[in-house]
Chains A and B, each alone.
Chain A
Amino acid sequence: MEYLSIVFQEVYKILFLLVPVLVSVAMIVWLDRRVWAFVQKRQGPNVVGPFGLLQSLADALKYIFKEIIIPSSSNKVIFILAPIVTMTLALIAWAVIPFSATQVLADINVGILYLFAVSSLGVYGIIMGGWASNSKYPFLGAIRSAAQMVSYEVSIGVIIINVLLCVGSLNLNDIVIAQQNMWFVIPLFPMFVIFFISALAETNRPPFDLPEAEAELVAGYQTEYSGMMYAMFWLGEYANILLMCAMGAILFLGGWMSPIDVYPFTLVPGALWLILKILLLFILFALVKAIVPRYRYDQLMRLGWKVFLPLSLIWVVLTASYLFYFNLLPVN
Chain B
Amino acid sequence: MIAHAIFFYTFSIIAVVSAIMVTASKNTVHSVFFLILDFISISCLFIMIGAEFLGMIMLIVYVGAVAVLFLFVVMMLNVAQQKNQWFAGQSTSKHIPVGLIISTLIFFEIIIVIGGWKYKPEIFDINNSLANTSVSNTHSLGQILYTDYIHVFQISGMILLVAMIGAIVLTFRQRSGVKRQSYIKQISRERVEGVEVLEVQSNKGVKIDD
Contacts and interface: CB of A to CB of B under 8 A. Distances in A.
The 4 A-B residue pairs whose C-beta atoms are closest, nearest first, are A120-B64, A113-B56, A117-B59, A117-B60
Contacts of B138: 109-110, 170
Nearest to B27: A75
A117 B65 contact: no
B53 A146 contact: no
Contact of A121 (B57, B64, B71): B64
A316 to B, nearest CB: 15
B60 A120 contact: yes
Interface string B53-88: 100110110011100110110010000000000000
Interface residues of A, number: 25
Interface in A255-297: none
Interface in A91-139: 108-110, 113-114, 116-117, 120-121, 123-124, 127-128, 131, 139
B57 A113 contact: yes
Interface in B82-102: none
Nearest to B65: A150
A65 interface: no
Contact of B68 (A78, A109, A139, A150): A150
B42 interface: no
Contact of B59 (A78, A109, A121, A157): A121
Interface string A65-106: 000000000010010000000000000000000000000000
Contacts of B3: 3
Given A3-B3, A120-B59, A120-B60, 19 more contacts: A75-B27, A75-B29, A78-B30, A108-B52, A109-B138, A110-B53, A113-B53, A113-B57, A113-B60, A121-B64, A124-B36, A127-B68, A131-B29, A143-B75, A150-B64, A150-B68, A153-B64, A153-B65, A170-B136
A29 B56 CA distance: 31
A318 B33 CA distance: 40
A117 B64 contact: yes
B72 A110 contact: no
B78 to A, nearest CB: 14
Nearest to B60: A117
A131 B30 CA distance: 11
B59 A110 contact: no
Interface of A: 3, 75, 78, 108-110, 113-114, 116-117, 120-121, 123-124, 127-128, 131, 139, 143, 146, 150, 153, 157, 170, 332
Contacts of B33: 78, 128
A109 B55 CA distance: 12
Given A78-B33, A109-B138, A146 B68 contact: yes
Nearest to A146: B68
Contacts, number: 61
Contacts of A116: 56, 60
Nearest to A170: B138
A146 B57 contact: no
B18 to A, nearest CB: 14
A146 B56 contact: no
Contacts of B72: 143, 146
Contacts of A108: 52
Contacts of A150: 64-65, 68-69
A160 to B, nearest CB: 11
A274 B18 CA distance: 40
15 contacts: A75-B27, A75-B29, A110-B56, A113-B60, A116-B56, A117-B60, A120-B60, A123-B64, A128-B33, A131-B71, A143-B75, A150-B69, A153-B64, A153-B65, A170-B53
Contacts of A121: 59, 63-64
B75 A114 contact: no
Nearest to A108: B52
Given A78-B33, A127-B71, A146-B72, A110 B52 contact: yes
Interface in B135-186: 136, 138-139
A172 B68 CA distance: 27
A332 B140 CA distance: 12
A139 B71 CA distance: 12
Contacts of A128: 33
B29 to A, nearest CB: 6
From B3, B56, B65, residue with most partner A Cβ within 10 Å? B56
Contact of A131 (B57, B63, B69, B75): B75
A123 B56 contact: no
Nearest to B72: A146
A3 B6 CA distance: 13
